[in-house]
Structure 1
């Protein structure tokens, strides 16, 4: 701590700070904020629930509003919209619970305390309508095609007389079958969470509880409904008069569900992807250090015809964007049978022109006399390379190893080409793409797993950055 304080209070000269000191520390603070603020924002948003992210909640902390429910129930007279208050959190968040958590609650026993329209709304929300539908079918010996009716074509539906089946049922059973099939006038009930707010009543001025779908600070008026259902009319409230209670509620399931393979709507196990990325990064880094150091040793310490030409060609490949060679890499991976295997990610990038250049420049600074002395002692070329050159090149190898870890860990293009068809071989970056599909978006999972994917590369860079600077600083010195 003392060292950090000493560093942060250094001055260019004299006892008092001058304008250059202030400018330096302002630049340091600006750079720190540019790096930390996006990561902090990502970290806090990764703990928000799915509904918060879908509503584009701009609050900094992962807090939730105190909520009530708004139900929409169809009747022969039309649709009824009303508010249901004092529901437990597990009921309000039923759709976001995993199957194991849902099974731990007795939803059927819970709705027995309600009746009328409230009962119908909770029955649909808690997924009890299919259960009661099967009970009605068993009790009245109804045909199995009713379960497939909603997916039938118009011509297929015309071949079945649903009205004749409903004629022999009582009113409650008719409603169950009609809601399940989506037949008028009993369409399926809808159930959505609403924010509980307190605001002056537009008519009386008395503080009253209202339910609103969202709070937009930039909007002057917010539509709302009375929580006590005194009227089904929508009232308009001044946004600046709304008072809502927020509670800190981090959603740790954003992390645990993907890591345990319980993420809803995601067909990959992130723990497996994490393991694959570790294997790819570790093996590829070892191969990169071995192959690049051999090439650099030959280019730095051997004299042969075309040596300069080889080196120029290697450097020239740095100017070719990876996307240009993408088709060629794909054909090579497919032709060698590596498609769908992690080796298809490891082998194509085993040799890097940046690594060859970095190590060659460092090896040029090692005196040739050391190698000649080893050869005079009857050391083979392999022993010269392995026992003398590699230990002396350790700073540059460490720098290249760290860079290789970061490159491999964050690589998306090569895995996308080589293993996109085999989910068992997915790396972390490909797994992150799985959290966003055409019909289903799981941004809460993707943000959380992005934070997990940042941990290894961040730790490597933070604790080993001195090797990067030392290796690069010494490169090319003689």
Structure 2
């Protein structure tokens, strides 16, 4: 640690005085550190935010949320009524985000028994109990069975049934329940949304009150607020500088736990399987890449044959061809060989890399030919010369290529999309990250968390083995 501190406090000037060169150097180091650190820090902090916080585009740096209340909208014969319900438990406020197991653990009937009137109607709809209660009502009252399919009938087909006569036999609450179930006016679907609970003085009376507002992070000068106690009618404009909100710091570690335990809501892939597939692809592909590239580099650096320069030029020319241009050919080759839907379709197409051949060839050119000739004079076969002499001496370059290959294979998305996009059981980690955003469900909190998980292996490889990268590349003459 003292060595690190000594390096960081080193100055060019005498007596520890900082010169303009020192200021420039330290400024450049700090700028580079921030450029690298800030995106990673942003990703890490967002990965432990709740789904609601991310979807509401909360720009706060720390994970957590404001104290929240429910704003309910109830439709009835008297029109639409909007009001605030305070002191609801978290599982009610977050009902749409919790899993089926968590929902099953709640005593919904006992909870609803503590409410009546419009609050009951709003909470009953919010918790999805209208259908269950209406079916139970139909069974208990001996009502016609066609009521259960009435909502799916066409207007013409509904004319064959006398709904009004059935509704007339029920009391007011039963009528409301049945008509809500059937979606008949004026009982449109009731709705509950969460809003932030803040404290602010009433703009006219100055009385300190609790209000429900949409989002305290907005940049507007005023917030539309609705009194929690219902004493203020309608929406009141609250000056932003008078609003006080309480934010609770609460990391959402379930963003990591649920995908890794295959319990993430709305996700159709097993992330542990994706990690396993990526490990297999990375390890096997890296081994094959090192073997093929080292053999090709050995032939191009230590043998003289007709067309040697042409082969090298052709290999290097492929570096100038964008990968997207070859996608159609790669796709057809994978299908023709029967590798589609298999991880071998990801491993084999990228087995030989022109950059790897060039890197190893440049390093092997520095190995003295006299060593190889001496081995041949001692009756060593070409395989033994390659395996026992060239590979050990080229180990720094091979290590550098191996590390780069691990990073390439782990982060590759194009080849997996071409080869295994139709086989979810063969998905690699990069394809799995795409599954967290679908047409109807967006799970950005899971995707951010699993992106952090996907960065860990390559980060560890680079941090602990970076000396092999710099040494290997430096000795190959690559720029």
Shift of 1:157: 4.5
| Contact 1:81 1:232 (C-alpha < 8 Å) held by counterparts | no
Distance in 2 of aligned mates of 1:420 and 1:150: 39
Give the match's secondary structure for 1:11: coil
Deviating above 6 A after TM superposition, structure 1's stretches of 4 or more consecutive aligned residues are none
Please tell me the root mean square deviation across aligned C-alpha atoms, in Å: 1.7
Distance in 1 of aligned mates of 2:255 and 2:149: 34
Q: Deviations over 1:376-421 (max 9, x none)?
A: 2221111111111111111111100110111111111111111111
| Contact 2:73 2:81 (C-alpha < 8 Å) held by counterparts | yes
Distance in 2 of aligned mates of 1:321 and 1:242: 55
Distance verdict in 2 for CA 1:137–1:378, change over 3 Å: farther
Give the match's secondary structure for 1:95: coil
Aligned to 1:4: 4
Give the match's secondary structure for 1:96: coil
Q: Does residue 1:50 correspond to 2:35, yes or no?
A: no
Aligned to 1:248: 249
Alignment of 1:148-167 (within 5 A): 148-167=149-168
Aligned to 1:438: 439
Aligned to 1:459: 460
Distance in 2 of aligned mates of 1:90 and 1:203: 36
| Contact 1:284 1:347 (C-alpha < 8 Å) held by counterparts | yes
Q: How many residues align?
A: 477
Shift of 1:153: 4.5
**Structure 1 stretch 25-34 or stretch 177-186: which is displaced more?**
177-186
Q: Deviations over 1:91-118 (max 9, x none)?
A: 2112211111122221111111111111
Give the match's secondary structure for 1:247: strand
Aligned to 2:102: 101
Q: Deviations over 1:108-156 (max 9, x none)?
A: 1111111111111111122222221221132134455544544454455
Give the match's secondary structure for 2:324: coil
| Contact 2:58 2:217 (C-alpha < 8 Å) held by counterparts | no
Q: Does residue 1:238 correspond to 2:239, yes or no?
A: yes
Aligned to 2:472: 471
Q: TM-score, normalised by structure 2?
A: 0.96
Give the match's secondary structure for 2:193: strand
Aligned to 1:383: 384
Give the match's secondary structure for 2:225: strand
Distance verdict in 2 for CA 1:148–1:401, change over 3 Å: farther
Aligned to 1:218: 219
Alignment of 1:377-456 (within 5 A): 377-456=378-457
Q: Deviations over 1:327-374 (max 9, x none)?
A: 100010111111111111100000000000000000011111111121
Distance in 1 of aligned mates of 2:149 and 2:383: 72
Distance in 1 of aligned mates of 2:134 and 2:37: 54
Distance in 1 of aligned mates of 2:452 and 2:445: 11
Q: TM-score, normalised by structure 1?
A: 0.96
Q: Does residue 1:197 correspond to 2:194, yes or no?
A: no
Aligned to 2:309: 308
Aligned to 2:351: 350
Distance in 1 of aligned mates of 2:396 and 2:12: 31
Distance in 2 of aligned mates of 1:458 and 1:27: 23
| Contact 2:50 2:64 (C-alpha < 8 Å) held by counterparts | no
Alignment of 1:44-123 (within 5 A): 44-123=45-124
| Contact 1:277 1:409 (C-alpha < 8 Å) held by counterparts | yes
Distance verdict in 2 for CA 1:304–1:116, change over 3 Å: same
Q: Does residue 1:266 correspond to 2:267, yes or no?
A: yes
Distance verdict in 2 for CA 1:426–1:150, change over 3 Å: farther
| Contact 1:217 1:239 (C-alpha < 8 Å) held by counterparts | no
Distance verdict in 2 for CA 1:12–1:475, change over 3 Å: farther
Shift of 1:60: 0.6
Distance verdict in 2 for CA 1:351–1:144, change over 3 Å: farther
**Structure 1 stretch 403-412 or stretch 379-388: which is displaced more?**
379-388
Distance verdict in 2 for CA 1:426–1:116, change over 3 Å: same
**Structure 1 stretch 272-281 or stretch 157-166: which is displaced more?**
157-166
Distance verdict in 2 for CA 1:64–1:384, change over 3 Å: same
Distance in 2 of aligned mates of 1:90 and 1:220: 32
**Structure 1 stretch 94-103 or stretch 281-290: which is displaced more?**
94-103
Aligned to 1:135: 136
**Structure 1 stretch 184-193 or stretch 394-403: which is displaced more?**
184-193
Give the match's secondary structure for 2:238: strand
Distance in 1 of aligned mates of 2:192 and 2:163: 27
Distance in 2 of aligned mates of 1:132 and 1:310: 77
| Contact 2:59 2:217 (C-alpha < 8 Å) held by counterparts | no
Unaligned runs of 5+ in 1: none
**Structure 1 stretch 458-467 or stretch 174-183: which is displaced more?**
174-183
| Contact 1:364 1:476 (C-alpha < 8 Å) held by counterparts | no
Unaligned runs of 5+ in 2: none
Distance verdict in 2 for CA 1:85–1:454, change over 3 Å: same
Shift of 1:160: 4.6
Shift of 1:220: 1.0
Distance verdict in 2 for CA 1:116–1:316, change over 3 Å: same
Q: Deviations over 1:260-295 (max 9, x none)?
A: 222222211111111111111111111110110010
